[in-house]
Amino acid sequence: MSAIEAAVREVIVCANWKMNTTPASAGQLARDIERLTRVAGVTRVICPPYVSLAAVGQALLGSDVAVGAQNVHAEQAGAFTGEVSAEMLVDLATWCIVGHSERRRDQCEDDALVARKLLRCAQHGIRPIMCVGEQLEQREAGRAEETVREQLEATVAELGRHRAELPPALVVAYEPVWAIGTGRTARGEDAAAMSRLIRATLAGAGLGDQAAVVPVLYGGSVTSATIGEFLAEPEIDGALVGGASLKADEMAGIVARAGVTAAARAAAVGS
């Protein structure tokens, strides 16, 4: 990877509030995060629960913080009680998390389903953050890279069956599932190696040279205290933040460190 390729990629910090906040509390938290994270060069996204999308959108009017959904259904419409389609999200969100490890675990989402969700996002102009990552037993068995490669290849293959390709504005989030909420932490160098694998796999799966500029985020219990190790790696372009994103001061620290990376990349382009 060249320094120029790294320099032209966006630096992104995405807050995933998961099943937290209510419409009454979400707006104030969004405003606090927006106020404390005004850092040049960093793309900021907040993904609240569905019920808080409108409140967060209203709170962020006039700012450059984007609103994202945490999930989307794979079908356009139909008899799917309790589900939300991409068309329903159009006026509420411009980003969407797809295939988060918790949905893969709890709702048994597989790569084919993830692919169809990517397709719906692309059809409705919603920018997807596709999550991939390995379980602890897969890493301990030496199959971490194989697992992530298979997830990406299976997703691309399913898109091909629908005569579709990966969305051009794709963002990938690498989630070492064993490091989420367990107290265990991944290392920056391991996440960087996985980021290289992700781009190499995307290149071989049809993106070609375009894969070099796909942003790859790290998402494994990120905090303001740990983010520096990951953003010090040129292959990592930001973070998908879980629990820490519910604290405005934590988000301020994470985005501030992301701003250092963004400034360094801007300087590299200008030099």
Query: Can you give the residue ranges of every domain in the chain?
Result: 3-270
In the set 102, 134, 158, 175, the catalytic residue is 175
Q: Provide block-wise average pLDDT over 10 residues at a time, the chain (271 residues).
A: 68 98 98 98 98 98 98 98 98 98 95 97 97 91 94 95 91 90 81 96 90 95 95 97 97 98 91 64
Q: How far, CA to CA in Å, does 183 sit from each of 127, 176, 177, 219, 220?
A: 31, 12, 12, 14, 10
pLDDT of residue 168: 81
The question of whether 175 is a catalytic residue gets the answer: yes
251 phi/psi in degrees, rounded to 5? -60, -35
| Rounded Cα distance, 228 and 17, in Å | 21
pLDDT of residue 207: 86
In the set 34, 73, 100, 158, the catalytic residue is 100
pLDDT of residue 4: 54
Query: CA end-to-end span of the chain, whole Å?
Result: 18
Q: Tell me: domain 3-270, CATH 3.40.120.10, correct?
A: no
The question of whether 140 is a catalytic residue gets the answer: no
